[in-house]
Amino acid sequence: MDQLAALSDDALIARLQRAAFSYLTDYANPDNGLVADTSRKGSPCSIAVVGFALSCYPVAVARGWMTRTEAASRTLKALRFFAQSAQSDAPDATGYKGFYYHFLDMQTGRRVWRCELSLVDTALLIAGMLIAGRYFDGGGEEAEIRTLADALYRRVDWCWAQNGTDAVLQGWKPECGFLHYGWEGYNEAIILYVLGLGSPTFPLTPSGYRRWGLTYQWENLIDTDVLYSGPLFTHLFSHAWIDFRGIRDDFMREKRSDYFENTKGAIAVHREYGERNPHDFRAYSRDFWGVTAGDGPSDQQLRLDGRDLRFFGYMSRGVPYGPDDGTIAPWAMLATLPFDADAALTGTRHLLETYPQVCKADRFSSGFNPTLPLEGEGWLSEGWYGLDQGLLVMMIENYRSGLIWQIFRTSPYVQAGLRRAGFDGGWLQL
Amino acid sequence: MTTAPATPKAKPDNDSVFLRRVRPAGWQNPVARDVYDLAVIGAGPAGIAAAESAARLGFTVALIERNIVGGNSLNAGSVPSKALIKTARVYAALHELEAFGAPMPITPPLDFTKAMERKRRVLTRISEHHSVEKLAALGIDVFFGVARFDTADTVLIAGQQLRFNKALVATGARPQPPNFPGLDAIGYRTSATMFEIDDLPKRLAVIGGGPLGCEMAQAFCRLGAQVTIVQNDPKFLPREERDAAEILSRSMARDGVEIRLNTTVVGARAADGVKILETTNDDVTCDIETDEVLLCIGRVPNVEDLGLAVAGIAFDQEHGVKTDDFLRTTNANVYAAGDVCMTLKFTNAAQAGGIMAVRNALCSGQERLSRLTIPWCTYCDPEIGHVGLHVWEARQQSIPIKSFTVMMHDVDRGITDGLTTGFVKIHVAEGTDKILGATIVAPRASELINEMSVIMSAGIGMNDLANIVHTYPAESGAIVLAARAYVRDQAIFGKA
């Protein structure tokens, strides 16, 4: 770890990005392109992680970590798998109506854990497919990649996911139909709406996006104007693909801001919250932050220093309303590089110097809680999570070169989706 | 009023005093006047407020009650629940002593009998405020019995026909048990009967995550019951904003309440003396074993057997009596107020509606219900108070809105008192300093929200609010800090 601390910023970033990417190959099934949700033994595939992996292969090619041929081969295996896998309402299918179950068996690709057909995770997967379809512009296997990516996107029946309303629900199960949960308040779902709106086959109705916007909360929070959403990842996920700089929808036009600037505001809120540390958690400061969705110490309530502290397992944590149990995601600060490089690097260096155990083999763990007294060092999530690693690769690349943003914005589907959502200005005008 | 609470069981002296105040034994209805300026049906908060208001203005008033004076609020709602909540808060606070430097006490089990005795004393004290004796002393003719319109301007009550110039229907609402199989067989309680129990149930299942359900779940948990709360929606308090509801959810979980959100009760059965609720959460089915079931879902207006149709008063079973914005029914001489017709089913709203109806009916008033500023509060810990528009309501009306938020743990008084959760949010119309609404989550949000109600009613904007001197330190400092954030924002960006 001392070696990491001694590196220049550029070298540090490059090394951490390389290590994060290696997760996506180390924990992939080379036969079908699926990537494990976590590094833990027996972990199923997360379709979102596959979406991140598909998005990161071009980065690997650009960085010289992988040949273009190998990247194309890995991409094609994943696309062929999804194209050929079972699409039906059977409980062990891979997907239905063009969507996919959240978690799949790494070998067979069939649904596991009676999980839900996940709309937002499908969107992240499809985003990766669209990246592949735009990046691989050659012949042979690359032509097949383009064909499959296009077909798989067109196959998604976004209208069906509205279930007769103009809202998009969060999921569906063959055992009970659509889940109750909808999307309330700003969160990571912009990319879901953009891809759904851009569909030439089963487009979402624009009214759904507008209706979702009615639940937004524009707040002056800790002296910062921000479209509120508590967990940090919600300010990053759609942004990993979509370059929001200078483009605005109706809401952001009204607020004279954009979603890129808004993430900067959210970062400021998270840092100030860390400094104020209202719950008196250990280590929190302006350079120790990153409260978001991720692994946690497990559901338990302990009495520490005369107060009852409640800890959580894997869940979505947020700032400033909570939940917050003193757990941060060690990767999260670095993932904000494109928005506030100084904050990202200062915080990451502080973390690495103070708690080097959070970064094993140059990869950040999913969660760290120094307040929970375990062996004197606090609780640390075991292994790695694919979502964290994939997002980190993409965000670092967007900071270094903007590659993902550049590729994604060339997609006519993305452009159409953004326009139907009411976005204009900036690069969308060009 | 009316059909809801069963007549309280006779208990020691307190209860005899209580009963004397709310329904005196051997009460003789007065002989009706030839005509009353106002006939009020229902002696709950709306009816009492209306009757007292009219009497003080010099009008002749008949007040008719089917059961006992005070309505749900006194007998099965606001008052008894708050009495129990106070006991629960005090008991729960013992667990916080250690954090403040005091040794952790060995807390004996709470004496539930004494807690209920205290609740009865509270009811007795408060029942004095609007006792039958006091109402009569105001000149109000109090009638007990079942009222029924027999013409457009007369009401039958206990064999007498009361003629009125104006009438007010204030018959309230009552719990509506859900319709799932097995419920009647296992037995259940509602707010109308829960406050009459003698023994703390070992296990309690609360169905419904609205204000009363959340209040009772947390209170009974703190009193020592193992409580499970089942809510059909993905969050509690569907009327409140998500952050407030989630803070409450975590607070209840911390207290030990077992939370079952997004869960529907589909059936009930009994086995070996245990009540079992059958639930589903999407595709997951689960049984909840309990000793007592408390229903806190659904209320239906009391519109039956009143002869409303005879008097030309439109109504339906779901929404109650149909009124216009002046609380006038389809019979121009009959008004309605309170839970029988209003969307906001709170005691303060009912009282305000009753008084407004009197002014409109008897004083040529033109007051509109939609103009009333009505704050409300859910009395959990922390309390959740709201007044005015919610953000989503403003956005639905295309009103640009911005919330100025101050966390309670950033307020000096919050820090001195060790507050770790809660907030004050003031919702402002962008481009102006006009306050559209406020949401407060704090230990005493029920008090703080009243300051916001006064501020809004007085038309005070954020600029002026920022200069109003408050005591220091105080939780209400959060309100001033929010206003000062507005002023700073305007100075920097000129855009608030």
Per-residue tokens: A94 = 């891979």
Q: Does pLDDT of B3 surpass 50?
A: no
AA identity, residue A27: Y
Query: What pLDDT sits at residue A1?
Result: 52
Which pTM does this prediction carry? 0.94
Q: In the structure, what pLDDT confidence band is assigned to residue B1 with cuts at 50, 70 and 90?
A: very low
Question: Which CATH architecture describes the domain B382-493?
Answer: 2-Layer Sandwich (3.30)
Q: Give CB contacts under 8 A, 24+ apart, made by B223-226.
A: B223/B84, B223/B87, B223/B88, B223/B91, B223/B110, B223/B112, B223/B115, B224/B109, B224/B110, B224/B112, B224/B200, B225/B200, B225/B201, B226/B202, B226/B256, B226/B258
Q: How far apart are CA B184 and CA B371, in angstroms?
A: 42
pLDDT digits (tens, 9 = 90+) for B433-480: 999 999 999 999 999 999 999 999 999 999 999 999 999 999 999 999
Write the ipTM. 0.95
How would you label B138-153 residue by residue, b for 16+ Cβ within 10 Å and e otherwise? eebbbbbebbbbeeeb
Q: For chain A, list residues whose CB is within 8 angstroms of any CB belonging to chain B.
A: 114, 173, 175-176, 179-181, 184-185, 213-223, 225, 230, 254, 256, 276, 278-279, 301, 305-308, 310, 320-323
For chain A, list the domains and their CATH numbers. 2-429 (1.50.10.140)
Q: What is the mean pLDDT of chain B?
A: 94
Contact residues, chain B, for A180 at CB < 8 Å: 233-234, 262, 282
Question: CB–CB of A47/A121 below 8 Å?
Answer: yes
pLDDT digits (tens, 9 = 90+) for B294-321: 999 989 999 999 999 999 999 999 999 9
Q: Does pLDDT of B496 surpass 50?
A: no
Least confident of A301-315, A386-400, B436-450: A301-315
CATH code 3.30.390.30 region(s) in chain B: 382-493
CATH code 3.50.50.60 region(s) in chain B: 13-79+117-175+300-371, 183-297
Query: What pLDDT sits at residue A2?
Result: 57
Fold type of domain B13-79+117-175+300-371: FAD/NAD(P)-binding domain (3.50.50)
Backbone angles phi, psi at B164, to 5 degrees: -135, 150
pLDDT digits (tens, 9 = 90+) for B38-86: 999 999 999 999 999 999 999 999 999 999 999 888 888 899 999 999 9
Cβ separation B396–A214 shorter than 8 A: yes
Q: How far apart are CA B224 and CA B203, in angstroms?
A: 9
Best to test chain B binding among A89, A179, A180, A220 (most B CBs inside 10 Å): A220
Check residue B13 and report its DSSP letter: H
Average pLDDT over residues A380-392: 97
pLDDT digits (tens, 9 = 90+) for B100-149: 888 877 777 889 999 999 999 999 999 999 999 999 999 999 999 999 99
Q: What is the mean pLDDT of chain A?
A: 96
User: From the list A176, A220, A305, which residue is nearest B402 (CB)?
Assistant: A220
Contact residues, chain B, for A305 at CB < 8 Å: 99
AA identity, residue B457: S
Superfamily of domain B183-297: FAD/NAD(P)-binding domain (3.50.50.60)
How many beta-carbon pairs under 8 angstroms link A with B?
Answer: 90
Query: What pLDDT sits at residue B98?
Result: 85
Q: In the structure, what pLDDT confidence band is assigned to residue A377 with cuts at 50, 70 and 90?
A: confident
Q: How far apart are CA A94 and CA A92, in angstroms?
A: 7
pLDDT digits (tens, 9 = 90+) for B198-255: 999 999 999 999 999 999 999 999 999 999 999 999 999 998 999 999 999 999 999 9
Q: In the structure, what pLDDT confidence band is assigned to residue B494 with cuts at 50, 70 and 90?
A: low
Q: Does pLDDT of B493 surpass 70?
A: no
Residue of A nearest to B410 (CA): A278
Q: In the structure, what pLDDT confidence band is assigned to residue B6 with cuts at 50, 70 and 90?
A: very low
Q: In the structure, what pLDDT confidence band is assigned to residue B190 with cuts at 50, 70 and 90?
A: very high
Q: Does pLDDT of A253 surpass 50?
A: yes
Average pLDDT over residues A392-420: 98
Query: What pLDDT sits at residue B2?
Result: 38
